[in-house]
Amino acid sequence: MAGKSRFLLSFIYELKLLFSKAVLWLSIQLGLIRSIIIVPFNGYGNATQIFLVGRVLKNNRVGQSTIEDSVWSNVKRMIRRFSTVILPGVTVKAQFQGKDYFVQTNEEGYFELTIELTEGIEFITGWIEVKLILMDQILRNQPPVEANAVVFIPESNSDFGIISDIDDTIVPTGAMRLTEMIKTTFSKNAHSRWPFSGVSELYRSLEMGMSGMASNPFFYVSSSPWNLYDFLWELLRVHDIPAGPLMLRDIGLSRTELIAGDPEQHKIEQISKVLKSYPAMPFILIGDSGQDDPMIYLKIIKAFPERILGVFIRDIHDSRHEFVMEKKAEMHRLGVEMRMGKDTDEAKSYAIARGWIKP
């Protein structure tokens, strides 16, 4: 039975790919695609490598939101984010410090690029730019298709790094209630979605640490789809929350899954990759009790002993208390303290008590 299910999923996925190719071809022939864009998802790096992810799509002209936007404007903009026409099998050239690197998009239009910082490349910390250029001529009279990706390389004097969830950790989402989550996601924008009280101040304090030099890096690992990337990036900017690489996931049908991208596995893989990229840096983990953050963070603690300074879990649902307390006890046995609280002030008090931020 399992073999038949896998065969059926694979067959449906191949039909989906054929349909996507047909939509792309027809859209080009009918002139429905007027421009193409490269969407870079801001990456991160260390002294030896830079990691960068992006996607090549029809330009749906999502644009920036404003505080005056109506609910209908927000809904239309969100529909555009999910109404993607992808460009698989096209080549993107990355230019960095005078050198060229080439990568091809996969079946879903994504590309992943690792740039080795070999001899002759200057090592720079902070936010650095990588220029991206589409090499394929897709449209008649197509102008150059270019984008600038930004990649974050932490300072060498960082005291610690922070890995944070977003939904129901930074901003209320209602991820445990599907209808509420859909309503919130589609009807509001980065200006009308307000983070939990005190998040910006806490995260800025963690970024500065005890040194006050804003050198502690943030990494955001979320189960949200890549379609929401520009919205989440804008949300951080609008509400003065420290910028950091966003690691989201692809969702939808795959060859082996009806809904691809298991959220738990996605978070474990991305957090593990960050920890391996900075082997000398300890980390603080921040999440919420709504889904499986306590379980995920426990697995990370087991896989990376002595790398996690502490864990804070935002308490958003009483029904999850027993589950969270079980994970807290296991973390304690492994030498890591978890604190759970309903508001950001409790996280702030915890951070002060641990000597991570100034009172």
Residues 260-286 have pLDDT tens digits of: 557 899 999 999 999 999 999 999 999
Could you tell me if residue 98 is left (phi over 0), alpha (psi between -120 and 50 degrees) or otherwise beta?
Answer: left
Amino acid, single-letter form, for residue 144: P
Instruction: With CA atoms as reference, report the closest residue to 292 among 326, 248, 333, 256.
Output: 326
Angle between helices 199-208 and 344-353 (to 10 degrees): 20
Amino acid, single-letter form, for residue 326: E
Q: From edge to edge, which strands make up the β-sheet containing 91-96?
A: 99-104, 91-96, 126-134, 146-153, 36-45, 49-58, 110-116
- pLDDT for the residue numbered 259: 57
Distance CA 100, CA 131 (A): 10
The per-residue pLDDT for range 83-116, each reduced to its tens digit, is: 888 899 999 999 998 899 999 999 889 999 999 8
Q: Any idea which fold 161-353 has?
A: Rossmann fold (3.40.50)
Inter-residue contact 94 to 101 (CB < 8 Å): yes
Domain coordinates in residue numbering, the chain: 33-153, 161-353
Superfamily for the 33-153 domain: Immunoglobulins (2.60.40.10)
Q: Tell me the pTM.
A: 0.91
Distance of CA 237 to the CA centre of its chain: 15
